Amino acid sequence: MTVSGVFELNEFAVLTSDNLDFLRLYIRVRGNLKEVERVLGVSYPTVRARFDTLLRAIGYEPEAADPQGAVLDQLERGELTPDEAARKLRR
């Protein structure tokens, strides 16, 4: 079978299979990166890096790192105690 014609590609048509799989999972878990972390069995920074790669692949520049957000993420993951997080946020 042959299909011919003029077709317009969108940004999703050029994604690698890895990026498509990640996007499907991201959609399946309704954008919850913590759930992506759990399903893939990888660290949260790895999930964020893969998400940033996906964003770049479809033409978006990921937001600059938010130091306060990073501290809150560490607190949420149990990597910091509330006191440690408070000290870091006061700096």
Angle between helices 82-90 and 67-76 (to 10 degrees): 180
4 located within any domain: no
Domain containing 39 equals 11-60
Below-70 pLDDT ranges, the chain: 64-66
Q: What share of the chain is helix, strand, coil (3-state, %, to 5)?
A: 65, 0, 35
pTM of the model: 0.64
Largest CA distance in the chain: 66
C-alpha to C-alpha distance for 30 and 44, rounded to whole angstroms: 16
Residue 2's pLDDT is 92
Judge if 15 and 49 occupy the same domain. Answer: yes
Q: What one-character DSSP code corresponds to residue 79?
A: S
Question: Hunting for tokens 């440690």 — which residue is that?
Answer: 84
Residue 64's pLDDT is 65
29 located within any domain: yes
47 located within any domain: yes
